[in-house]
Amino acid sequence: MKILVTGSGGREHALAWRLAQSPLVTEVFVAPGNAGTALEENLSNVDIDVMDFKAQISFVKEVGIELTLIGPEAPLVAGVVDLFREAGLKCFGPDALGAQLEGSKTFTKNFLARHEIPTAAYASFNDATKAIEYAAGMDLPIVIKADGLAAGKGVVIAQSQDEAINTIKDMMQGNAFGEAGSIVVIEEFLAGEEASFIVMVDGKNAIPFASSQDHKAAYDGDMGPNTGGMGAYSPAPVVTPKVFEEIMSKVIRPTMQGLNDDGIFYVGFLYAGLMIDADGNPKVIEFNCRFGDPETQPIMMRMKSDLVQLCLDAIDGSLANQEIEFDERVALTVVMAAKGYPGSYAKGQKILTIPEENDYSKTFHAGTTLSAGKVFTNGGRVLGVTALGKNVGEAQSRVYRILKEIEFKDALYRSDIGYRAIERES
Ligand code: AMP
Ligand code: GLY
């Protein structure tokens, strides 16, 4: 069968690479893809924009593609799956209604509250004066979030009342996030350790992927501005077997029940961003309606089950009692970014060497492009070097050894990805 993946990041390279290994597959197309998906033997890029649903549907019909998997959130929130369904085509991902779990923080917080799923105390405002009044009564730090999609940048953790007031004004009156910031959610600060918990949903049942953890801050020691993620590893040691069971019983199963009660038919990946407190209790920070980036890279590196079959089963509603299998080893990814990211950065730097994949490592591409057979940088997050190891320490030292072989001008990466997990290991 032929498959289409939409998107152009590290997530899409890793998903397409794993899909292409299924015995059910003859060809995988990526729209629009990157240099990594262009160079991969069994993948081909098609030059269609991720938001051009009409062109995607025509291509799928013309080439006889039997399954489409949507990578990023923007097309899901915009209703790409609804359009594919109307055209009678199989498309893996939630429809526009389900994607509201990522598309609107107010929607999600109300959903969580209604179904008694643990999350930070909150209030939502469309009036800046009322928002400022509410913030004045809160303990510091105060968490302020733009309601809509803001590419991972719509969250400010204000350390003072002044910063809170300025943030609310910027978001609601200064138009810092456009329409996405016309409503803000203000919430209680949660202490603890974060984990990413991603499940596959078939409309009724949710089956878990291995846990993972990402590093969102740009600089070592988790300092500096928030990014989409500078590295990740799987599994997350904070998700012990006991915490795993807590997450399934307090978060995932109630979420499935809540979706059913609300009449939301959700098919696709569901990503719960969680805060785990010192006693192992999970609270939901956010939901995403797609796989994590860079969490996809270490998780796909470890995945042994057939991802194509699982997507088909999810669309058919037959995931009950299935289990996704993973390599016992740990996988860790370090993102090589362009200097300046998450702010402005240069594109078009030539990448000199990209190491060959072997049985324990793989370099996934993100912001890269191919020109006359050469690879150039084309985004903030450029590559995701990934390795398996018997523990986080071994996976990490393998990744940093490989990273030294890669060269492009003004490359920037964190030197401590996985440090918390390594502290736990020792
Ligand atoms: P979000 O876009 O909601 O995932 O928020 C981005 C990041 O901000 C999260 O990954 C957390 O690191 C942090 N964050 C968000 N909400 C809270 C909260 N209530 N308490 C502490 N940290 C938070
Ligand atoms: N790595 C965080 C995300 O994908 O949202």
The mean per-residue pLDDT over the stretch 279-295 comes to 97
Contact at 8 Å (CB) between 395 and 389?
yes
Checking if the pLDDT of 151 tops 80, the result is no
Question: Ligand 1 in contact with 194 (CB < 6 A)?
Answer: yes
Contact at 8 Å (CB) between 233 and 334?
no
The mean per-residue pLDDT over the stretch 229-251 comes to 97
Cα dihedral sign for 120, 416, 382, 43? negative
Mean pLDDT, the chain, as a whole number?
95
The mean per-residue pLDDT over the stretch 150-167 comes to 85
Given this model, what pLDDT does residue 185 score?
87
d(CA 101, CA 98) in angstroms, rounded, equals: 6
The mean per-residue pLDDT over the stretch 112-128 comes to 93
Smallest-distance ligand from the CA of 295: 2
Question: Ligand 2 in contact with 194 (CB < 6 A)?
Answer: no
Q: How far is the CA of 52 from the centre of ligand 1 (A)?
A: 31
pLDDT band, very low/low/confident/very high, at 149 (cuts 50, 70, 90): confident
Given this model, what pLDDT does residue 170 score?
86
Per-residue pLDDT of 163-205, as tens digits, reads: 999 999 888 887 767 666 678 889 999 999 999 999 999 999 9
Bridge pairing between strands 91-92 and 67-70: parallel
Question: Ligand 1 in contact with 286 (CB < 6 A)?
Answer: yes
Give the closest residue to 363 by CA, choosing from 290, 294, 269. Answer: 294
Given this model, what pLDDT does residue 38 score?
97
Question: Ligand 1 in contact with 150 (CB < 6 A)?
Answer: no
Contact at 8 Å (CB) between 17 and 43?
yes
Give the closest residue to 198 by CA, choosing from 286, 92, 87. Answer: 286
Given this model, what pLDDT does residue 63 score?
98
d(CA 228, CA 288) in angstroms, rounded, equals: 13
Residue 418 phi, psi dihedral angles, 5° rounding:
95, 5
The mean per-residue pLDDT over the stretch 126-132 comes to 89
Given this model, what pLDDT does residue 424 score?
87
pLDDT band, very low/low/confident/very high, at 266 (cuts 50, 70, 90): very high
Smallest-distance ligand from the CA of 73: 2
Given this model, what pLDDT does residue 152 score?
62
Ligand 2, pocket-test mutation among 105, 227, 271, 341, most atoms within 8 A of CB: 271
The mean per-residue pLDDT over the stretch 343-358 comes to 93
Cα dihedral sign for 293, 348, 405, 42? positive
d(CA 50, CA 4) in angstroms, rounded, equals: 11
Question: Ligand 2 in contact with 418 (CB < 6 A)?
Answer: no
Report the DSSP beta bridge partners of residue 125: 184
Checking if the pLDDT of 47 tops 90, the result is yes
pLDDT band, very low/low/confident/very high, at 303 (cuts 50, 70, 90): very high
Report the DSSP beta bridge partners of residue 70: 6
pLDDT band, very low/low/confident/very high, at 416 (cuts 50, 70, 90): very high
DSSP conformational letter for 180: G
Question: Ligand 2 in contact with 293 (CB < 6 A)?
Answer: yes
Q: What percent of the chain has pLDDT over 90?
A: 85
417 residue type, one letter: I
Closest ligand 2 atom, residue 214 Cα: 1
Closest ligand 2 atom, residue 292 Cα: 4
Question: Ligand 2 in contact with 72 (CB < 6 A)?
Answer: no
Bridge pairing between strands 231-234 and 213-214: antiparallel
* Non-local CB neighbours of 320 within 8 Å, separated by 6+ positions: 202, 204, 205
Q: How far is the CA of 325 from the centre of ligand 1 (A)?
A: 29
Q: Whose CA is nearest to atom 16 of ligand 1?
A: 285
Question: Ligand 1 in contact with 214 (CB < 6 A)?
Answer: no
Q: Whose CA is nearest to atom 8 of ligand 1?
A: 155
Question: Ligand 1 in contact with 20 (CB < 6 A)?
Answer: no
The mean per-residue pLDDT over the stretch 258-277 comes to 97
Smallest-distance ligand from the CA of 191: 1
Given this model, what pLDDT does residue 181 score?
63
